[in-house]
């Protein structure tokens, strides 16, 4: 329970540290809680509170909020929430009322593609060409050729059938329960034991209760291949749910997982949102650029981070899954899919991923990461990911540092318990390819002087 | 279990009939299934299948697919799936390969706003003005003034704090568990018993397992106020989850529900997606145009149906909930929010909702509904909703009719068991304001001649 527990900040965005357990206080339920009543019409017995309170197997909002809200309110008190801006560039956001300008060091647009003229114009031309925002009908019935073009473009880019979705987390919400029930990944062997890496992103952990209605759900210590192998030995069908690149440093244990897949038929589900576009010759991400797809592997990612557009994508391990998920993956089917503007932005970004500009942007990002690492060596130095933590230690000091940096023109977030361990507070920095060299230098200076004076 | 059970078609879109129980085969689990093991590291006992299979309290993919896939494959065999089109108007979609043209009678864009030039241009000008697709940072930290303008515009339009989301179902996924845990709707009284109307949309039923980890989940017979009152008498804190306007006809029992709210403090959660924009002087929907908001009421709706844009909105009962949900409502916070194009489209549509054009479009829709009702009187006639079912009876006949209509230039869907009761198959028609009078007449003729010849 020590180390990164990261509860409340998980709600801040997909780039957050991973919880030791997404709801570490799950055991804080009332003593003597009764077994969950079924959802069927229940015989109306005496009401008592034990009957009303859920089992808190996977989550406990009360316990989470008891800690999370304190953190949020501290951030709000420091003026670091609900900042409303006009956009000039990621380096220049402007608060209208005060005229305060600042550089965003807390954006997942790692390559700066969110303001790339080609992507903006891709959205515009799609809207103009299609003449509609969307057909407002389930895509599995009737869909625009524009969306089909995107499916084909992403299929080509990633070398896998590519299912688009309104967001990465919506894809996860629709797909994971069907992996749990055994309907993805072939075979008629019935449900799969679902093993969630303890650090996997909240968007996957959130779906545990739904998976848990289909199959046994277990938590695995982070990257613990021995633990996972024991589960594979015990159960005939197992799926492992993890991030590809973990945003607080480190990656999934890819080689060992492939080995387990080969030996035990382990299904692998990765959210590689933080590596998409910034890793791989065509921005395939950490996982896809290192493995071949197969029916027991699925990778999802956000198209709204380094990709620079909107929506999400699932790279599928088999052709059959493409139609099957379009028909059956819950929120993927009845949630609206990407609208026309998002499709157009994605098409333009996918095209850009095929040009030398992608490599140039990846290199620019890497240079900025290197510059920062030279000024502020941290435990993350050299890991290739754009997220860094300036260790401060004391949490009040971390908040003061974050405030000072914001006043100096840089938005980056203070992180403290329970985001990180007690006494290990710091300031999180997210680097970008489009962060101007002089801004970065000045930011590093500001960090140094703020730390000296704080 | 007879009547509308609507399993597989629920996955087709949000405009679908309601299930008697979203997973009517939930009891089809293996006999002797063991209680769910916890998700904590479980002592590794002997593995047996009972340990792996989930309790299927709320869902059972295997049982659902056993029925659903049959229906899907029948639709696919009839050439009614994966139709890929270019868009000229909702009345004229074109299959590129064959040149086949048809009119969409299966779209939720009931007012035709999806291709309104002002809404398209709203998206375009927002992209141009903001110069970015989005900031790729959690909106509760930093957000564009453009999004703030939309929040304010929707707040004004609906007379309630309005929380935007990437889709209506994402809002539901984020909010319902916090109603279950008792953190929405005031009071420190702990969890609420969550009562789901049996016909409520799949997007709400999907979240039952998550709610069920926080609180007792019950199913209520459709619009059964007596049943609901009994629950209110038994439990101190209860929430009721329902559609505002049910897409297969009928509405929520609003008056009786308000009465229960007044007498017992019942929390009311409505998804009013199918009535938004088509009902109310400013398109507030069925529920909002008939009630005053209060801290015990929440209404969500899709902005991608009659509203003509993208995303979803939650009309909140209290100011406090706005910030609270922005901070804590899971997918609402870490899923990307609406992108800039969607915000622009929504701003333009909201503006249009303030003009006389809204009333004109509502009236046009109503005229088309009336014309259809005169030609084909059904049990839905006069209910004000744009969805109609042509009763056929035999399901093969219904499929043949749907195929014939598609060949004649009209896409509308055959529905049969388990979407409707056995022997009550038919063809579902969704009317629009922008359906040209001659197209509607011709369509009615086509239905008549097809029925005569089928």
Q: Three-state secondary structure along A270-326?
A: EECCCCCCCCCCCCCHHHHCCCCCCCCEEEEEECCCCCCCCCEEEECCCHHHHHHHH
Tell me which residue of A90, A75, A442 sits closest to B327, measured CA to CA.
A75
**What percentage of chain B carries pLDDT values higher than 90?**
69
Are the C-beta atoms of residues B436 and B443 closer than 8 Å to each other? no
Tell me which residue of B10, B18, B14 sits closest to B68, measured CA to CA.
B10
Inform me whether the C-beta atom of residue B381 falls under 8 Å from chain A C-beta atoms. no
Residue of B nearest to A192 (CA): B52
Is a pLDDT exceeding 60 seen at residue B10? no
Are the C-beta atoms of residues B428 and B107 closer than 8 Å to each other? no
> Structure tokens of B424?
């009550």
B-chain residues within 8 Å CB-CB of A57?
36, 38-39, 213
Predicted confidence at residue A8, as pLDDT, reads: 29
Residue of A nearest to B310 (CA): A339
More confident residue, B272 or A420: B272
Q: What part of A 219-238 touches B (C-beta under 8 Å)?
A: 219, 230-231, 234-237
B-chain residues within 8 Å CB-CB of A215?
52-54
More confident residue, B229 or B380: B229
**What percentage of chain B carries pLDDT values higher than 70?**
88
Instruction: For residue A107, give the nearest of B16, B136, B181 by CB distance.
Output: B136
Predicted confidence at residue B31, as pLDDT, reads: 33
Task: Kindly determine whether residue B323 and residue A54, on different chains, have CB atoms separated by under 8 Å.
Answer: no
- Flag the least confident range among A33-47, B62-76, B129-143: A33-47
Task: Kindly determine whether residue A335 and residue B167, on different chains, have CB atoms separated by under 8 Å.
Answer: yes
**Spatial distance between the Cα atoms of A70 and A399, rounded to a whole number of angstroms:** 13
Task: Kindly determine whether residue B216 and residue A142, on different chains, have CB atoms separated by under 8 Å.
Answer: no
Query: From the CB of residue B151, how many other CB atoms can be counted at a distance below 10 Å?
Result: 20
A-chain residues within 8 Å CB-CB of B236?
47
A103, A109, A136, A423, B67 from A310: Cα distances, Å: 22, 11, 18, 37, 34
A-chain residues within 8 Å CB-CB of B209?
209-210, 212-213
End-to-end CA distance of chain B: 30
DSSP class of residue A423?
Answer: T
A-chain residues within 8 Å CB-CB of B114?
132-136
Residue of A nearest to B175 (CA): A61
Predicted confidence at residue B36, as pLDDT, reads: 38
| 3-state class (DSSP) for residue B356 | helix
Inform me whether the C-beta atom of residue A11 falls under 8 Å from chain B C-beta atoms. yes
Predicted confidence at residue A249, as pLDDT, reads: 67
Is a pLDDT exceeding 90 seen at residue B184? yes
pLDDT tens series, chain A, 454 aa: 223 333 323 322 222 233 333 333 333 333 333 333 333 334 344 456 678 999 999 999 998 888 778 778 888 888 989 999 999 999 999 999 899 999 999 999 999 999 999 999 999 999 999 999 999 998 989 999 999 999 999 999 999 999 999 999 999 999 999 999 999 987 678 999 999 999 999 999 999 999 999 999 999 999 999 999 999 999 999 999 999 998 766 799 999 999 999 999 999 999 999 999 999 999 999 999 999 999 999 999 999 999 999 999 999 999 999 999 998 999 998 877 899 999 999 999 999 999 999 999 999 999 999 999 999 988 788 888 898 988 888 878 888 898 999 999 999 988 776 667 778 888 889 999 999 999 999 999 999 998 888 6
**Spatial distance between the Cα atoms of B264 and B207, rounded to a whole number of angstroms:** 25
A-chain residues within 8 Å CB-CB of B208?
39
Query: What confidence tens digit (pLDDT) does each residue in B406-449 have?
Result: 999 999 988 776 667 778 888 889 999 999 999 999 999 999 99
Beta A410-411 vs A101-104: how paired, if at all? Answer: parallel
More confident residue, A7 or B49: B49
Q: What is the dihedral of CA A117, A119, A125, A130, to 10 degrees?
A: -170
The sign of the dihedral angle between the CA atoms of A98, A103, A106, A107 is positive
Task: Kindly determine whether residue B135 and residue A81, on different chains, have CB atoms separated by under 8 Å.
Answer: no
**Spatial distance between the Cα atoms of A95 and B390, rounded to a whole number of angstroms:** 56
Residue of B nearest to A181 (CA): B61
> Structure tokens of B176?
């319902």
A-chain residues within 8 Å CB-CB of B183?
61-62, 65
Task: Kindly determine whether residue B334 and residue A302, on different chains, have CB atoms separated by under 8 Å.
Answer: no
Predicted confidence at residue B422, as pLDDT, reads: 74
Task: Kindly determine whether residue B210 and residue A57, on different chains, have CB atoms separated by under 8 Å.
Answer: no
More confident residue, A413 or B149: B149
**Spatial distance between the Cα atoms of A148 and B86, rounded to a whole number of angstroms:** 11
Predicted confidence at residue B370, as pLDDT, reads: 96
> Structure tokens of B125?
């000008």
Q: What part of A 143-202 touches B (C-beta under 8 Å)?
A: 143-145, 148, 166-170, 173, 177-178, 180-183, 190-193, 196, 201-202
User: Taking CA B153 as the corner, what is the angle to CA B152 and CA B158, rounded to the nearest 5 degrees?
Assistant: 100
Tell me which residue of A383, A386, A381 sits closest to A277, measured CA to CA.
A386
Residue of A nearest to B102 (CA): A142
Instruction: For residue A210, give the nearest of B39, B40, B209 by CB distance.
Output: B209
In whole angstroms, what separates CA B412 from the centre of its chain? 18
Mean per-residue pLDDT of chain B? 87
Are the C-beta atoms of residues A137 and B108 closer than 8 Å to each other? yes
Average the pLDDT over B102-110 and give the result: 96
Instruction: For residue A166, give the nearest of B104, B167, B230 by CB distance.
Output: B167
Residue of A nearest to B76 (CA): A141
Predicted confidence at residue A418, as pLDDT, reads: 64
Predicted confidence at residue A305, as pLDDT, reads: 97
Inform me whether the C-beta atom of residue B323 falls under 8 Å from chain A C-beta atoms. yes
Q: Which residue has the tokens 């509607």?
A: B440
Q: What part of A 44-73 touches B (C-beta under 8 Å)?
A: 44, 47, 49, 51-62, 65, 68-69, 72
How far off is chain B from A234, nearest CA to CA, in Å? 6
Q: What part of A 413-452 touches B (C-beta under 8 Å)?
A: 413
Task: Kindly determine whether residue B128 and residue A120, on different chains, have CB atoms separated by under 8 Å.
Answer: yes
Contacts of B367 (CB under 8 A, 6+ apart): none
Predicted confidence at residue A454, as pLDDT, reads: 67
Task: Kindly determine whether residue A55 and residue B143, on different chains, have CB atoms separated by under 8 Å.
Answer: no
């Amino acid at each position: 329970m020590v180390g990164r527990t990261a509860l409340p900040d998980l709600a801040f965005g997909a780039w957050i540290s991973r919880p030791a357990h997404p709801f570490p206080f799950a055991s804080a339920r009332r003593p003597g809680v009764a077994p969950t009543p079924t959802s069927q019409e229940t015989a109306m017995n005496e009401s008592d509170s034990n009957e009303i309170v859920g089992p808190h197997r996977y989550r406990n909002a009360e316990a989470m909020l008891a800690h999370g809200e304190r953190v949020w309110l501290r951030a709000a008190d420091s003026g670091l929430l609900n900042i409303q801006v006009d956009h000039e560039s990621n380096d220049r956001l402007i608060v209208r009322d005060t005229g305060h300008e600042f550089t965003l060091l807390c954006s997942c647009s790692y390559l700066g593609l969110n303001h790339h003229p080609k992507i903006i114009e891709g959205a515009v031309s799609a809207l103009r060409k299609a003449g509609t925002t969307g057909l407002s009908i389930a895509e599995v019935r009737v869909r625009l050729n524009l969306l089909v073009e995107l499916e084909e473009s992403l299929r080509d880019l990633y070398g896998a059938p590519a299912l688009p979705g309104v967001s990465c987390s919506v894809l996860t919400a629709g797909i994971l329960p069907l992996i749990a029930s055994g309907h993805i990944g072939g075979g008629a062997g019935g449900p799969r034991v679902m093993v969630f890496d303890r650090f996997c992103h909240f968007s996957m952990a959130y779906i545990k209760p739904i998976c848990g209605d289909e199959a046994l759900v277990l938590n695995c210590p982070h990257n613990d291949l021995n633990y996972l192998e024991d589960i594979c030995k015990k159960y005939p069908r197992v799926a492992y749910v993890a991030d590809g690149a973990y945003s607080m440093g480190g990656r999934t244990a890819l080689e060992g997982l492939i080995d387990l897949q080969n030996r035990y038929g382990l299904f692998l589900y990765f959210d590689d949102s933080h590596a998409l576009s910034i890793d791989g010759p065509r921005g395939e991400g950490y996982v896809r650029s290192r493995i071949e797809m197969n029916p027991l592997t699925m990778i999802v990612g956000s198209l709204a981070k380094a990709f620079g557009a909107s929506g999400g994508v699932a790279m599928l391990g088999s052709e059959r899954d493409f139609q099957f998920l379009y028909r059956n993956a819950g929120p993927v089917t009845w949630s609206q899919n990407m609208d026309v503007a998002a499709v157009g932005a994605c098409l333009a970004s996918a095209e850009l991923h095929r040009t030398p500009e992608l490599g140039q942007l990846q290199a620019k990002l890497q240079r900025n990461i290197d510059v920062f690492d030279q000024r502020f060596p941290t435990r993350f130095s050299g890991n290739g990911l754009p997220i860094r933590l300036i260790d401060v230690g004391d949490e009040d000091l971390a908040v003061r540092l974050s405030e000072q940096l914001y006043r100096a023109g840089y938005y980056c977030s203070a992180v403290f318990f329970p985001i990180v361990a007690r006494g290990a507070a710091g300031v999180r920095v997210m680097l970008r390819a489009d962060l101007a060299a002089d801004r970065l230098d000045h930011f590093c200076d500001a960090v140094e002087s703020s730390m000296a004076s704080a």
